[in-house]
């Protein structure tokens, strides 16, 4: 926030020179005021974008140990060659070059490279259509949690339409029927997140911001992971009304750290006794002011599940999308690099900027306690298996100091007739987690970065 004052000063001087030399319109006229606002907004956006990219485009090292396995959304990659990969940040080199990832030919590491690169990378964008009721044509500095939520949902859609085993192979022209269909679906998923106010892009930043207005948000406000989860749910409901491809998908958001199984069954059960694929989002808070390391092993174990589609959260004041881990460090995609808007509805639009080749890590102890866990289950059987697995993973364990409580709980009943009030071995547990009710005000207390 401290950078905004000098940015405004720079842009004002620049505007004076432009206006004085290019127009003879009186300074107080409406036309001149609109010109000033338009040019000033573009200059401020460009300067903020440049500053942001300098900050997050710093060269950092990501180390991979050859002794430890690497987990990425339920997939395990062993025998990783040790390599100090110099990241080029989130710049063009990050997705146009493999120089920051080891070039060894071992299958396990090649598999990790291919898997990581195939995840959709949705970042800050600039010069998109102005958000409704504002002057914002970029989300640089405030939309990081929305972008992280988009990436989480994009991974669920990839699992649903392409399968977890799908891989993007850059510069390869598909020559088989399956390859052609996968390429069409790949591009279609990207289009659904296009930065424009259109029903054809139902999960765009414009749609999410507009939905946020129903809960008291406005363009430029930051969002917490729980609030974003509810926005994604509402966006999916709206999308299913206009596009039959979403008829067989349902997003369920846990309430107060409780997953109500009966509610999920009612939402996913169709009139012809079939089952909608489920995207399960569970907002949790794993600590008070900072991350409680008691949950470290539980959190990383979730990333080993095949149904896991990642975690949106980050470090304090900095949203990230976590998709894997090695040892005690979480592997993530960072949405903070600001790129120019891509017109995804143009023929053969470029897709390289939607994929990142630069894995980054964050020590789990630095993670912000507020986050949202994501899972995808294509069938009822998968959901049942996930419930049984998670019950074992999140069960409280007795420590030498005190009895801990689980990340979240499952209830066989419905939220309408069940009030969670649990006592675990003599300790009353309050599962209250303030979330964003899209019909009311967002009361979350999470703080994520406003650059």
Positions marked active-site? 144, 334, 336
Backbone angles phi, psi at 353, to 5 degrees: -75, -5
Strand partners, 62: 85
Q: Distance between CA 369 and CA 286 in Å, rounded?
A: 5
What's the half-sphere exposure (Cβ side, CA atoms, 13 Å) at 332? 27
The two structure tokens encoding residue 420 = 């969670």
Measure CA 90 to chain center: 16
Is-contact 190 157, C-beta < 8 A? no
Q: Which SS3 state, helix, strand or coil, does residue 372 take?
A: strand
Q: Which SS3 state, helix, strand or coil, does residue 334 take?
A: coil
Measure CA 314 to chain center: 10
Q: Distance between CA 180 and CA 123 in Å, rounded?
A: 26
Query: Strand 339-340 and strand 125-126: pairing?
Result: parallel
Q: Distance between CA 182 and CA 430 in Å, rounded?
A: 46
Nearest to 319 by CA among 332, 310, 308: 332
Is-contact 231 214, C-beta < 8 A? no
Q: Alpha-carbon Rg of the chain, whole angstroms?
A: 23
Query: Strand 75-77 and strand 70-72: pairing?
Result: antiparallel
Task: Spell out where 256-391 has E strands.
Answer: 258-260, 277-285, 308-315, 318-326, 329-333, 339-340, 360-363, 370-377
**b or e along 80-89 (b: 16 or more beta carbons within 10 Å of the residue's beta carbon)?**
beebebebbb
> CB under 8 Å to 278, separation ≥6 — which residues?
250, 251, 252, 264, 268, 375, 376, 377, 383
């Amino acid at each position: 926030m401290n950078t905004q004052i000098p940015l405004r000063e720079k842009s004002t001087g620049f505007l004076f020179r432009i206006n004085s030399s290019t127009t003879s319109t009186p300074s107080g006229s409406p036309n001149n005021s609109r010109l000033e606002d338009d040019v000033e907004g573009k200059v401020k956006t460009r300067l903020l974008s440049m500053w942001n990219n300098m900050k997050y485009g710093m060269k950092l090292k990501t180390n991979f140990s050859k002794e430890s396995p690497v987990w990425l959304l339920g997939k395990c990659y062993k025998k990783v060659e040790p390599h100090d990969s110099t990241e080029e940040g989130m710049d063009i080199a990050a997705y146009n070059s493999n120089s920051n990832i080891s070039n060894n030919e071992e299958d396990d590491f090649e598999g990790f490279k291919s898997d990581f690169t195939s995840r959709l990378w949705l970042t800050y964008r600039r010069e998109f259509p102005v958000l409704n009721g504002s002057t914002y044509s970029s989300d640089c500095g405030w939309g990081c949690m929305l972008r992280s939520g988009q990436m989480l949902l994009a991974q669920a859609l990839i699992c649903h339409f392409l399968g977890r085993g799908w891989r993007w192979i850059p510069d390869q022209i598909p020559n088989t029927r399956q390859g052609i269909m996968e390429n069409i679906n790949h591009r279609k998923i990207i289009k659904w997140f296009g930065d424009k106010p259109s029903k054809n892009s139902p999960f765009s930043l414009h749609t999410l911001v507009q939905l946020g207005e129903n809960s008291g948000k406005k363009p430029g406000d930051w969002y917490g992971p729980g609030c974003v989860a509810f926005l994604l749910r509402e966006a999916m409901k709206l999308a299913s009304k206009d596009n039959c491809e979403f008829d067989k998908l349902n997003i369920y958001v846990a309430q107060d750290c409780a997953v109500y199984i009966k509610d999920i069954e009612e939402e996913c059960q169709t009139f012809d006794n079939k089952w909608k694929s489920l995207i399960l989002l569970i907002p949790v808070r794993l600590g008070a002011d900072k991350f409680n390391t008691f949950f470290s092993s539980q959190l990383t174990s979730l990333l080993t599940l095949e149904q896991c589609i990642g975690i949106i959260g980050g470090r304090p004041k900095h949203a990230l999308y976590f998709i894997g881990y090695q040892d005690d460090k979480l592997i993530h995609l960072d949405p903070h690099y600001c790129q120019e808007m891509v017109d995804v509805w143009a023929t053969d639009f470029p897709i390289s900027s939607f994929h990142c080749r630069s894995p980054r890590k964050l020590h789990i102890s630095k993670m912000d306690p507020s986050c949202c866990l994501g899972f995808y289950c294509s069938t009822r059987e998968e959901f049942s298996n996930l419930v049984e697995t998670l019950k074992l993973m999140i069960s409280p364990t007795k420590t030498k100091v005190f009895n801990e409580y689980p990340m979240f709980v499952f209830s066989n009943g419905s939220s309408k007739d069940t009030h969670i009030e649990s006592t675990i071995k003599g300790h009353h547990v309050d599962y209250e987690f303030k979330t964003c009710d899209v019909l009311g005000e967002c009361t979350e207390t999470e703080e994520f970065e406003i650059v």
